[in-house]
Amino acid sequence: MVNSARLTLQLQSSCQYSFFSKKQSIPCTIFTHISTKCSTTLAMSQKKSEELLVVVGGGAAGIYGAIWAKTVAPNLNVVVIEKGKPLTKVKISGGGRCNVTNGHYVDNLILAENYPRGHKELRGSFFKMHSPTDTVLWFSNHGVILKTEDDGRVFPVSDSSSSIIDCLMSEAKKRGVVLQTGNVVMSASATTGRNFSIKIRKRMSEHVENVEANYLLVASGSSQEGYGLATQLDHSIIKPVPSLFTFKIDDMKLKELTGVTLNRVKAKLKLETVKKNIPQLTQIGPMLVTHWGLSGPVILRLSAWGARDFSDTGYKGTLLVDFVPDIGADDLHALLIRHKNQFQKQKLLNSYPSELGLVKRFWKYILDRQGFDEDILWASVSKNFLFSVATLLKSCSFEVKGKGQFKDEFVTAGGVPLSEIFINTMESRIHSNLFFAGEILNVDGVTGGFNFQNAWSGGYIAGISIGKLAAAAKVEEGSDLVCS
């Protein structure tokens, strides 16, 4: 086995960012028992080389996991290998503000319902071990004050993702995490003795370094290389497909409404490949008209819940929109009759029931779409007119021709199946000492901070699990020495 202490020094020599340990003590409130045991054996166990954790990926899950592993086991060597710059997605997320988590869910069962992939598996220990409240507490305890907006999204009060990045980087540095940037983990295999043999291609060169690690945390997000590593380590990969995208709709008249927000619609996505009724393929909430088609929370949620089936249909489907979900069909009809009787001398375009809550531009779209002359008077409209307007408002059909990309958030569905890991430790069911966290897993959330929460919770659980194993190994090692 390669001496891990020597290895760490080698790694540091090529680092863009190198953080050297200042030997932090474990917070007493959380890990008092480990801390006490460690301190009694420290003198003896220091004679042996320390163990090494290699973290693949310096994103949210990897850096947070590394910090927690080092928090629990300060003597563990923790090296994060990042092929680009660390925390890149944190930087660009939430339009540069970083939507860290979601503050509207105290009940973990309801919180889990925001994950189209993971909603069943994440109901139990996952958020119990590290919830959005824990995330908010951790950041505020480390100097980043967060605020919750009306829709539940949590941001730093600075409205800058740099606050989150600076906090994580400074804590990683303080804990002694080594960060190596610009290097790619090319391959990994399990060796006998529960170790991992890892090949790392050095930055800007063809030089490949062989490393042997005691623990491996794969937190490589949605990168192909990461999926490759998981397969080399005998895991399967559920085909990755995009989630959180807008719908492309070719409708010139709709395009004229670009920028209009419909505050509350009920939209149902119908896909040829989906025969059974999936409740989540109907969503209620705001919808936005864009030059490309339709967007907004309702559309993004539909894209997430329909991600896999949508991919199978080549992103073709039908969207049925109820623009007045709070008014029943009969009441709507009665409302239109009342309006006709009351406003006989008004032109169709200039007058419509305010109860519909629609902007004039949108009312015009409805009239145009049915081919009605907007200049005729209400007095002259027929029963058929009233019926077809009511029908259109309650069930307006749009042909979805493809997917666009949502600029603020984007995530990949698919990856390592959750059935192949223990959720309460994030350890592989196939290889001991191998852990996964973040987007590499087949977990993705709807928009609103849920995807980062998956990274924080997964990173935390993996980090403390590894830390506990390392601390226990150290105690054992110390005991051996005492006994011999």
Ligand X SMILES: Cc1cc2nc3c(=O)[nH]c(=O)nc-3n(C[C@H](O)[C@H](O)[C@H](O)COP(=O)(O)OP(=O)(O)OC[C@H]3O[C@@H](n4cnc5c(N)ncnc54)[C@H](O)[C@@H]3O)c2cc1C
The tokens for 383 are 């029963």
Closest separation in Å from C-beta 465 to ligand X: 17
Under rule CB under 6 A, residue 411 binds ligand X: yes
Closest distance between ligand X and the C-beta of residue 187, in Å? 9
Q: Which stretch binds ligand X (CB under 6 A): 5-13, 71-79, 221-229, 332-340?
A: 221-229
225 binds ligand X (CB under 6 A): yes
Tokens describing residue 245: 């995208």
Q: Which among 64, 414, 403 has a CA at the least distance from the CA of 217?
A: 64
> Is residue 438 a contact point for ligand X (CB under 6 A)?
yes
Q: Which is nearer to ligand X, 318 or 405 (CB)?
A: 405
> Which C-beta is closer to ligand X: that of 238 or that of 274?
238
Q: Which of 15, 17, 94, 293 binds ligand X (CB under 6 A)?
A: 94
User: Which contiguous run of DSSP H or E holds residue 417?
Assistant: none
Please report where in the chains the tokens 């995807």 appear, as a residue: 451
* Cβ neighbours for 18, distance < 8 A, ≥ 6 positions apart: 12, 178, 179, 180
**Residues that contact ligand X, how many (by CB under 6 A):** 37
Stretch that binds ligand X, among 2-10, 56-64, 249-257, 463-471 (CB under 6 A): 56-64
Q: Which long-range contacts (CB under 8 A, 24 or more apart) does 335-342 make?
A: 336/386, 336/389, 336/390, 337/386, 339/378, 340/378, 340/379, 340/381, 340/386
* Pair of tokens at residue 220: 């490589």
Among the listed residues 121, 322, 439, 477, the single contact to ligand X using CB under 6 A? 439
* Spatial separation of the C-alpha atoms in residues 424 and 176, rounded to whole Å: 26
CB of 256 to ligand X, least distance (A): 29
Determine, following the binding rule CB under 6 A, whether residue 409 of this chain makes contact with ligand X: yes
Per rule CB under 6 A, is residue 92 in the interface with ligand X?
Answer: yes
Please, which residue, 98 or 426, has the CB nearer to ligand X? 98
Q: Of 37-45, 59-67, 127-135, 293-301, which segment contacts ligand X by CB under 6 A?
A: 59-67
By CB under 6 A, residue 220 contacts ligand X: yes
DSSP 437-454: -GGGBS-B--TTTHHHHH
- Build a one-symbol-per-residue string for 348-387: x at contacts with ligand X by CB under 6 A, - elsewhere: ----------------------------------------
Distance of alpha carbon 411 from the chain centroid: 6
Residue 218 found at the interface with ligand X (CB under 6 A): no
Residues contacting 237, CB < 8 A, separation 6+: 227, 230, 231, 414, 415, 416
- The answer to whether the CB of 243 falls within 8 A of the CB of 444 is yes
Smaller CB distance to ligand X: residue 57 or 317? 57
State which of residues 72, 185, 190, 254 lies at the interface with ligand X (CB under 6 A). Answer: 185
CA distance 167 to 221: 21
Question: Interface residues with ligand X (CB under 6 A)?
Answer: 56-62, 81-84, 88-89, 92-94, 98-99, 184-185, 219-221, 223, 225-226, 408-411, 438-439, 449-452, 455
